[in-house]
Structure 1
Amino acid sequence: MNGMEAAAIAAASVAAGAINAVVGSGTLITFPTLVACGFPPVLANVTNNIGLVPGVLSAAYGYRRELRGQLRRLLRFGVASLIGGLTGAVLLLQLDSSAFDTVVPVLILAACVLVLLQPRLNAWLKRREQRGGEDGGVPMWCGVLGTGVYGGYFGAAQGVILMGLFGSFLRDDLQRLNAAKNVLAAIVNGAAAVVFIAVADVDWTAAAVIAAGSTLGGLIGARVGRRLPAVVLRSVIVVVGVTAATFMIVT
């Protein structure tokens, strides 16, 4: 990794940290950047996951006011996220790398579709704020578990998926749900990172650059990112994501 590549990864990491705090899907910025810098896809995914953990934690910290009174919810769904994140990480390492190379472009494009649909999702969530239950029961828990498996395996747009689940099953303010989403995403990424650190190859220089950049970005996103035009953030995510998926398909 030369100086230009490090600068590109750092810039992508700041953007990813801010995007994760507000929208989710920051992986669609950093993962393609790593691949463009010559990292093999699995190594890029592992390194990216580890590097983004501090950024997701900083985003959760930035939403600490909205987390008040949610301890019971976070404990309940945190268990599902922990199990799911560990499972997804093990699947990534156990399955043949060619399977990851094949499925990731599809996952990226699917994540881009979710990002494009997010305005409709947000409007739907607002309409449902006064409906739904307190914890969503078994279906909600299983949904969080499945999202955790996906997040541990790849993770792009897991926040969007979680917000969709929240809107389907829970009754609460949108910002409080977004705060809970950040905590659960941090648990998934952290659980997967433990597995990766223990048994996988990691580019620690790149991971450190991503960690520093995403931490800064997470704080920025939690503080001021909600004031930025959402259409700009979504446009960047989709353009980068589609470009990355196309690049991986043709190569």
Structure 2
Amino acid sequence: MTIVDVLLLVVAGFFAGVVGFVTGLASLVSYPALLAVGLSPVAANVTNTVAMVGVGVGALSNSAREVVDTGPRVWRWTAYAALGGLTGAVVLLVAPPGSFEATVPFLVAFASLALLLQPKIRELAGGRDLPRVFAAALFVVAVYGGYFGAGAGVIFLALTLICTSESIWRASILKSYLLGVANLVAAIGFAFFGPVHWIAAAAMAVGAFAGGWCGPPLVKRIPPNLLRVGVAIAGFGLAAWLAFG
């Protein structure tokens, strides 16, 4: 890997961090960049998971109080995310290639539709929180995050805005934190058993940390409805890219 490749990954990591925090679509930037510098699809996938831990760490360093202010339930959610990330990593390492990717475009498209319809869905639910549904769905999304991860942030945003009364600002912070936990646990497993390209992972993680740190103040300035609709539209684009790209 040349110095130009390393610099490319740092820059790609930064934009992945910003895009990942704002929209939940970090892998739309980071995964193709890893392929572009010559990594195989499997190596790019596991290296991407390791590198994207930087987004969560960067975002948390600039929004730790918001996570703590969520209360005791955030620690239960952390456990679900960790268990899901571990499960996803195991599935990736033992499952036949391509066994899960076929469903991913449909999951992302469904989540994007749910984001667009979120106000109406919350209205139909009577504005009630759905803690059990949220906990179970969080585990499933974390499994996906540990396995592949593209679009996991979109799915998580839709899940949080529908099942809880959190604002999109706090949902974005929780997304980065909890998916960061899932990525971290998966990354530990990949460190021992997966084909991680450590130079690429380190370069991208440096940029991702900086991008994640820049994310919270940026999201705070974006009107909530504009952000929700924008993420949904970007999610539809990602679903099309995953299905036909």
Distance in 2 between residues matched to 1:4 and 1:11, nearest whole Å: 11
CA contact (8 A) 2:51 2:202 kept: yes
Matched length: 241
Cross-structure match for 1:193: 187
Judge conservation of contact 2:144–2:152 (CA < 8 Å) in 1: yes
Answer whether contact 1:114 1:160 (CA < 8 A) is retained. Answer: no
Distance of 2:180 and 2:126 partners within structure 1: 27
Answer yes or no: is the 8 Å Cα contact 1:118–1:160 preserved in 2: no
2:202 paired residue among 208, 219, 238: 208
Is residue 21–residue 221 contact of structure 1 (8 Å, CA) maintained in 2? yes
CA separation of 1:240/1:2 partners in 2, compared to 1, >3 Å: closer, same or farther?
A: farther
1:174-209, CA deviations, whole angstroms, 9 ceiling, x for partnerless residues?
Answer: 322222222211110111011001211211110011
Name the % identity.
Answer: 28
Partner of 2:101: 104
Residues 2-36 of structure 1 show CA distances to partners (whole Å, capped at 9, x for unaligned) of 23333332222111101122221201211122123
> For 1:131, which of 127, 131, 134 is the aligned residue?
127
1:9 is matched with: 9
Greater alpha carbon shift after TM alignment, 232-241 vs 73-82: 232-241
| Residue 35 (structure 1) aligns with | 35
Moved more, 124-133 or 76-85: 124-133
Deviations 1:99-135 (A, max 9, x none): 23x653762x4476368647625655886998222xx
Aligned 8 A contact 1:18 1:218 in 2: yes
Deviation at 1:144, TM superposition (A): 0.8
Tell me, yes or no, if structure 1 residue 95 matches structure 2 residue 98: no
1:158 lines up with 2:156 in the alignment: no
- Structure 1 residue aligned with 2:212, among 185, 208, 218? 218
Give the conservation status (yes or no) of the 8 Å contact 1:128–1:167.
Answer: no
> Tell me, what secondary structure is at the counterpart of 1:131?
coil
The 1:198–1:9 alpha-carbon spacing in structure 2 relative to 1, beyond 3 Å, is same
Q: Is the 1:29–1:241 contact (alpha carbons within 8 Å) kept by the matching residues of 2? A: no
Give how far 1:40 is off: 0.9
Aligned to 2:46: 46
The answer for the alignment partner of 2:175 in structure 1 is 181
Distance 1:176 1:204 in 2: 32
Instruction: Please report the TM-score for the alignment, with normalisation by the length of structure 1.
Output: 0.81
TM-score, normalising length from structure 2? 0.83
Amino acid at match of 2:202: A
Unaligned runs of 5+ in 2: none
Structure-to-structure mapping, 1:54-69, within 5 angstroms: 54-69=54-69
Q: RMSD between aligned alpha carbons?
A: 3.0
